């Protein structure tokens, strides 16, 4: 099956710092999504990004599908950005699209 | 505002009990999913459904079954709960684009 690798696995930042999270995938995919899981376990969809670049406030994402990677940029980090960031790639199996998740990047933002 | 709800945030059951986890979405999505999340193992797909009464096995279906009698509701059933099914269970839905998750049910089997 498809492999989804995220780096770094762990990241500690001081508030106000910028960071880049990377997602590599091993095969062609129909789509890619980024999620943030907060400390209470809720997964929030950040970006639906099959290709190109999108921005939402302090977050932006870029997917280069031909080279099989995606990047999530966090600028001016805040403590509320702490949690685990997952990328997930979408495969269509003929009946339903389903996501394969990476193992995540755990981010801790300190004061 | 999109919403996926799960019947319980925390649940404690005894070994051998039959356990029902309920999930409801209000977005008229065709696709619904059940995952479990364990430390070091990430999110693993248990079952999914692409239409009413339709279901497909995910990566780890053993010990679980599902039911989808109405489009908005997808139930996960543990026929005879075991301690290795202690986990966080996450329900999700999508309509072919963004996927939305419920808040999760933390199940402990003792």
pLDDT given for residue A96 in this prediction: 64
Q: Would you say domain A4-110 falls under CATH 3.40.50.970?
A: no
pLDDT given for residue B100 in this prediction: 96
- Helix, strand, or coil (residue A91): strand
pLDDT given for residue B58 in this prediction: 92
Q: Where are the domains of chain B?
A: 4-109
Contacts of A101 in chain B (CB under 8 A): 42-43
In contact, B81 and B18? CB cutoff 8 Å: yes
Is the bond into A8 cis (omega within 30 degrees of 0)? yes
Decide if A101 and B42 are in contact by the 8 Å CB cutoff. Answer: yes
Nearest CA in chain B to A104: B42
* pLDDT in 10s for each residue of chain B, 110 residues: 769 999 999 999 999 999 999 999 999 999 999 999 998 888 999 999 999 999 999 999 999 999 999 999 999 999 999 999 999 999 999 987 899 999 999 999 99
Residue A97 has pLDDT above 80, yes or no: no
Contacts of A93 in chain B (CB under 8 A): 56
pLDDT digits (tens, 9 = 90+) for A43-94: 999 999 999 999 999 999 999 999 999 999 999 999 999 999 999 998 766 6
Mean pLDDT across chain A: 93
Element housing B85 (H / E): none
In contact, B33 and B54? CB cutoff 8 Å: no
pLDDT given for residue A92 in this prediction: 62
pLDDT given for residue B70 in this prediction: 96
pLDDT digits (tens, 9 = 90+) for B12-34: 999 999 999 999 999 999 999 99
- B38 touching A (Cβ < 8 Å): no
In contact, B64 and B77? CB cutoff 8 Å: yes
pLDDT given for residue A68 in this prediction: 95
For range A32-38, the mean pLDDT: 97
Give domain B4-109's CATH architecture: Sandwich (2.60)
Decide if B42 and A41 are in contact by the 8 Å CB cutoff. Answer: no
Q: Is B49 exposed, middle or buried (0-12, 13-18, 19+ CB in 10 A)?
A: buried
Residue A95 has pLDDT above 80, yes or no: no
For range A84-109, the mean pLDDT: 86
């Amino acid at each position: 099956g498809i492999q989804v690798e995220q780096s770094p696995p762990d990241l500690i930042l001081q508030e106000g710092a910028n960071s880049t999270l990377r997602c590599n995938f091993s095969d062609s995919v129909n789509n890619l999504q980024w999620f943030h899981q907060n400390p209470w376990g809720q997964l929030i969809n950040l970006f639906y990004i099959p290709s190109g670049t999108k921005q939402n406030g302090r977050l932006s994402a870029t997917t280069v599908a031909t080279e099989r990677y995606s990047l999530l940029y966090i600028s001016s980090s805040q403590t509320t950005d702490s949690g685990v960031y997952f990328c997930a790639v979408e495969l269509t199996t003929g009946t339903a699209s389903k996501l394969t998740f990476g193992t995540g990047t755990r981010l801790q933002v300190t004061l | 505002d999109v919403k996926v709800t799960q019947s319980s945030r925390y649940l404690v059951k005894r070994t051998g009990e039959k356990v029902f986890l309920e999930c409801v979405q209000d977005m008229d999505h065709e696709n619904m999913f059940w995952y479990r999340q364990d430390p070091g193992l990430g999110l693993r797909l248990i079952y999914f459904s692409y239409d009413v009464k339709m279901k497909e096995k995910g990566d780890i279906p053993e010990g679980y079954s599902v039911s989808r009698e109405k489009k908005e509701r997808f139930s996960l059933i543990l026929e005879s709960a075991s301690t290795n099914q202690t986990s966080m269970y996450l329900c999700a839905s999508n309509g072919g684009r963004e996927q939305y998750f419920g808040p999760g049910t933390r199940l402990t089997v003792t």
